[in-house]
Chains A and B, each alone.
Chain A
Amino acid sequence: MAPTLVSAAVGALLAAALLGRAFDRRAVAVVVAAALLPGLDAAASLVVPGATNALLHAVWVPLLAGGLLYWDTALRPASVLRGRFGHRGARIAWVALASYAVAGIGAALFAGEGASLLYPLEDARYVVRGRLVFSTREGVVQTFLVSGAEGGGALPLRSVGGAVADPVASWVNPDGRPGLDASGAREFRFVEAGWQLVVVAAAVATLAVRFRLRRRDGEVTR
Chain B
Amino acid sequence: MPSTIVHAGFALLLAAALLRDSLDRRALAVLLVVLVLPEADSFLGAVMPGAHRTVGHNFVFPAVAALALCVDTRIRERSWVRERLSPRWIAVAWVALFVHVFAHISLDWTHLDGVNAFWPLRDRFFQLAGEAFYSTADGFVQTFVDVRVDPETGTRTVDAGAGGTSESVHVNNPVQPRDPDLDVEEPVDRRFPVANAGWRLYLIGLGLFALGARRLQGDGVADGD
Please give the residue numbers on chain A whose beta carbons come within 8 Å of chain B beta carbons, in ascending order. 10, 13-14, 16-18, 20, 23, 91, 98, 102, 106-107, 109-111, 127-138, 144, 185-195, 197-199, 201-202, 205-206, 209-210, 213
Partner of A185, one of B16, B136, B210: B136
Contact A130 to B134, CB < 8 A, known contacts A18-B213, A198-B109: no
Q: Are B134 and A16 in contact (CB under 8 A)?
A: no
Q: Which of B41-49, B65-73, B199-207 interfaces with chain A?
A: B199-207
Asked whether B132 lies within 8 Å of A202 as measured between CB atoms, the reply is no
A186 neighbours in B (Cβ, 8 Å):
135-136
* Given the contacts A135-B190, A202-B102, A128 and B201 also touching, CB distance less than 8 Å: yes
Contact B18 A194 (CB under 8 A): no
Nearest chain B residue, comparing its CB with the CB of A189: B133
Q: Is the interface of B mostly helix, strand, loop or mixed?
A: mixed
- Chain A residues with CB under 8 Å of B102's CB are 198, 201-202, 205
Report chain B residues within 8 Å CB of A199.
Answer: 10
Closest CB in chain A relative to B110 CB, distance in Å: 3
Bound CA span A129–B129, Å? 20
Q: Are B189 and A197 in contact (CB under 8 A)?
A: no
- B binding-site residues for A, Cβ under 8 Å: 10, 13-14, 16-18, 20, 98, 102-103, 106-107, 109-111, 127-137, 142, 144, 187-199, 201-202, 205-206, 209-210, 213-214, 217, 219-220
> Is the Cβ of B194 less than 8 Å from the Cβ of A132?
yes
Q: Which residues on A sit within 8 Å (CB–CB) of B198?
A: 109-111, 127-130, 144
A133 touches B213 (CB 8 A): no
Write the nearest CB–CB distance from B194 to chain A, whole angstroms: 4
Interface pair A195/B210, CB less than 8 Å apart: no
14 A-B residue pairs with CB within 8 Å: A13-B14, A14-B210, A16-B17, A17-B213, A20-B20, A102-B209, A110-B202, A111-B198, A135-B189, A135-B192, A194-B109, A195-B110, A195-B111, A201-B106
